[in-house]
Amino acid sequence: MTTSRRHFGQALLAAAAAAPALAHAAAGPRPAIHARRLRPGDTIGLVSPANATYEREPLQIAIELLQALGFKVKLGASVAARYGQFAGTDAQRAADINAMFADDAVAGIIAMTGGSGCNRIVDKLDYKLIAAKPKFFGGFSDLTSLINAIHTQTGLVTFHCPVAGSEWNGFSLASFRAIVMEGQAYTLRNPSGERGDNLVQTQDRITTIRGGKARGRLLGGNLAVLSSLAGSAYYPDFRGAVLFLEEINEYIYRCDRMLSTLRLAGSLDALAGVVIGKFTKCEPGEGNYGTLTLDEVFDDYFKGLNVPVFRGAMIGHIKRKHTLPVGAEVEIDADAGTIELLRPATV
């Protein structure tokens, strides 16, 4: 084969691979679908789309936690399975999610834990089924790929929320109940005035990078997982959206590289606003000389967008965290550090 013919063939293959993502981008976001709000007495499907749970006790605690919230619990067939680090094979984990959406007795679905592996099954979910039988679906961290893929493919508003194996405290529970169970048009804000032994508040502060208010669909999640979807048919259309991000245990230069992926994908070009959550233990790499700070990285990527941006929202790998409806219409106030739902995320 000649060089030109080989290059032509490679170009055709690349175009074919990119076609689904390009078609999705041209079509724009799908109309939002809102799941029924969860009520005490409902059955929740507990699935493990990512990492395995290696001991029996954490699974039992998660079951008891959901029961304490007033729910009945149905376990996915592979929730306690293991294949390497995953909770079963890709086919098993995807089948659990599809089965829960198909089951009319199940009102909602929540992940046991994050970890890794959700990207392996985004193309194995039955999106026609999900659109036909919409229901609550929630999780965070590695679940970023599934909550964004489901919203992108169906329009269903999904939830960046604590997984069943998380610590559920009063703060986390308040926003989950208000948004998911009570269907409130809730305003998410950090607690204020918590000084402890200090003269001023030092924890969970809001930093305004660029002030103002903005409205748009709320999209985002874990930076590493979100950036890994770029170029696929499961990657959100960020035009006119409010982007939220969080991260954990990544060197600053890696966060910088992931943000450059979002920029090069065109995802930052037409944002309405940005909410930066917690970047927990994201520090300079060992031996790095003169690394940029996170302040400088965020300024470089977001300050010049001329949209409202704030940092410090209680989103991410922290004990107290907000529940955020992915795909819901919100208004952010970057001066006050708030995210206001413009309509209930559940009906």
DSSP letter for each residue of 63-126: HHHHHHTT-EEEE-TTTT--BTTBSS-HHHHHHHHHHHHH-TT--EEEES--SS-GGGGGGGS-
Integer Cα distance of 129 and 46 in angstroms: 18
pLDDT at residue 25, as a whole number = 56
Q: Is 321 helix (H, G, I), strand (E, B) or coil?
A: coil
Q: 317 an active-site residue?
A: yes
Q: What is the pLDDT of residues 331-341, one digit of tens each?
A: 999 999 999 99
Residue among 34, 160, 317, 322 flagged as catalytic: 317
Say yes or no to pLDDT of 179 above 70. Answer: yes
Integer Cα distance of 143 and 49 in angstroms: 8
Pairing of strands 338-341, 108-111: unpaired
In this structure, is the dihedral angle defined by the CA atoms of residues 286, 290, 294 and 300, taken in order, positive or negative?
A: negative
Q: Which helix (H) or strand (E) holds 149?
A: helix 144-154
Q: 246 an active-site residue?
A: yes
Dihedral (Cα; 187, 248, 123, 51), 10-degree rounding: -110
- Domains of the chain with bracketed CATH: 43-181 (3.40.50.10740), 187-341 (3.50.30.60)
> Do 186 and 62 contact (CB within 8 A), yes or no?
no
> Do 94 and 50 contact (CB within 8 A), yes or no?
no
pLDDT at residue 203, as a whole number = 92
Residue among 246, 247, 250, 331 flagged as catalytic: 246
Q: Which helix (H) or strand (E) holds 53?
A: none
In this structure, is the dihedral angle defined by the CA atoms of residues 314, 320, 326 and 331, taken in order, positive or negative?
A: negative
% of the chain at pLDDT higher than 90: 88
pLDDT at residue 54, as a whole number = 94
pLDDT at residue 24, as a whole number = 54
Integer Cα distance of 237 and 258 in angstroms: 17
Please enumerate in sequence order all residues whose Cβ is within 8 A of that of 308, keeping only pairs 6 or more positions apart, or say none.
210, 211, 212, 213, 214, 273, 274, 332, 333, 334
pLDDT at residue 270, as a whole number = 97
Q: What is the pLDDT of residues 284-326, one digit of tens each?
A: 987 667 889 999 999 999 999 999 999 999 999 999 999 999 9
Integer Cα distance of 225 and 43 in angstroms: 29
Range in 1-5, 30-34, 76-80, 234-238 the model is least confident about: 1-5
Q: Is 291 helix (H, G, I), strand (E, B) or coil?
A: coil
What does the chain come to in residues?
347
Residue 42's φ and ψ, nearest 5 degrees, are -65, 155
Of 237 and 11, which is predicted with more confidence?
A: 237
Q: 247 an active-site residue?
A: no
Q: What is the pLDDT of residues 194-253, one digit of tens each?
A: 888 899 999 999 999 999 999 999 999 999 999 999 999 999 999 999 999 999 999 999
Residue among 24, 34, 48, 141 flagged as catalytic: 141
Integer Cα distance of 170 and 321 in angstroms: 10
Integer Cα distance of 152 and 147 in angstroms: 9
